[in-house]
Amino acid sequence: MRDLESVANDVKINNDMNHFKFLSHALALLSTTFAQAEELWNYGDIRHYYDYDRSLPLEASLISEKTKDGVVEKIIRLQAADGEWMKAALHIPKGEGPFRLFLGQNAAAGGAQALAEVGYLCADIERRLGGERKREGLSMSLDENFMLSVWSRQQMGVDYRRLMDYVFSEYRIETDRVVMAGTSRMGRISVITAACDERIKTVIARACCADWSKLISGPGSDPSLEHFADEPWYDQPFFRRLTAAIDPLHYGQWLEGRKVLVQSGEEDKVVPTIAVKRLADVLEESATFRTYPGEGHRLLGDAVIKDTQAWLKENGLW
């Protein structure tokens, strides 16, 4: 019989091969995306990396439906722009609409039930490389597979736009009251998606790093990411182009005139407040910047939720 170490090595080799195949596919897409390398330094066309064919048919099917306290909860399966299937969760208020629309992580404003009570239809999707979309040995974690993570985050922005296409086609929506919210990497995706899609009028960006390439090499950086600075590609133009594509810092010019709430926990050990504030500085008049003593990276305390609701109310959105 073969020893356990040999069997373990074979399993590792198979996993590594699967990882390599999927990563090669992601890198091929990335190399196409960044073919016009020098143009990216002007950031004039950076939003086009998130373009997709809006004429694609909206293939969707109902997985489950139930009603709780008058709010209809639906789980659907929706085809993404790249052909992949994704689950989406919808919480639909009473009545026929028109409804306000809240995309992304609704816990930021007290959860779907609280939002439905003030007329919001809440919509969110399963993350790439998570849930049914998970692939063994792969994740969106930057410290595990950086190139794949960049590609996955880029595609998540397109996924949310695709979700909006579906919601707008199926429900009556108040076009001036479309909000998107996210925390950490989902905060980054929220900012970029809004910059790429003018249907999103308001963004709540929580614990959102404005410039990831600075975060991993500057004071207060996450120790788990410091090893990137020793990689041979770290200081190369290709790396800078990759990080630029997922750095909200470069998208501020397209958010002018829209409302953005930027939130940071003063005890955040993952994304320090100074890294979050850079986003507010870039957005200038469009942004409201708030910090919360005693709050860490998750920002789910009652005081934070109440402040978020108060900010929405101040802006005619609650």
Q: What is the pLDDT of residue 7?
A: 35
Residue 311 has pLDDT above 90, yes or no: yes
b/e per residue, 4-18, with b = 16+ CB within 10 A? eeeeeeeeeeeeeee
Question: Rounded mean pLDDT of 14-24?
Answer: 48
Question: Which pLDDT does position 179 carry in this prediction?
Answer: 98
Rounded to an integer, what distance in angstroms lies between the CA atom of residue 198 and that of residue 38? Answer: 26
Domains parsed from the chain with CATH numbers: 4-314 (3.40.50.1820)
What is the percent of the chain where pLDDT is above 70?
73
- Write b or e for each residue in 204-220: b if 16 or more Cβ atoms lie within 10 A of its Cβ, otherwise e: bbbbbbbbbbbbbeeee
CA distances from 155 to 52, 137, 228 (A): 10, 19, 23
Give residue 216's pLDDT: 61
Please say if the pLDDT value at position 129 is more than 80: no
* Extended beta strands in the chain, E state: 60-68, 71-79, 85-92, 99-104, 120-125, 173-183, 202-206, 259-265, 287-292
Non-local (6+) Cβ contacts of 129 within 8 A are 135, 138, 139, 140, 148, 152
pLDDT (0 to 100) of residue 246: 80
Task: Label the pairing between strands 120-125 and 85-92.
Answer: antiparallel
pLDDT for position 49: 80
Summarised one tens digit per residue, pLDDT across range 242-260 is: 677 788 988 988 998 999 9
Q: Say whether the peptide bond before residue 98 is cis (omega within 30 degrees of 0).
A: yes
> For residue 226, what pLDDT is reported?
56
Q: What is the pTM of this model?
A: 0.82
Place of tokens 């974690």: 141
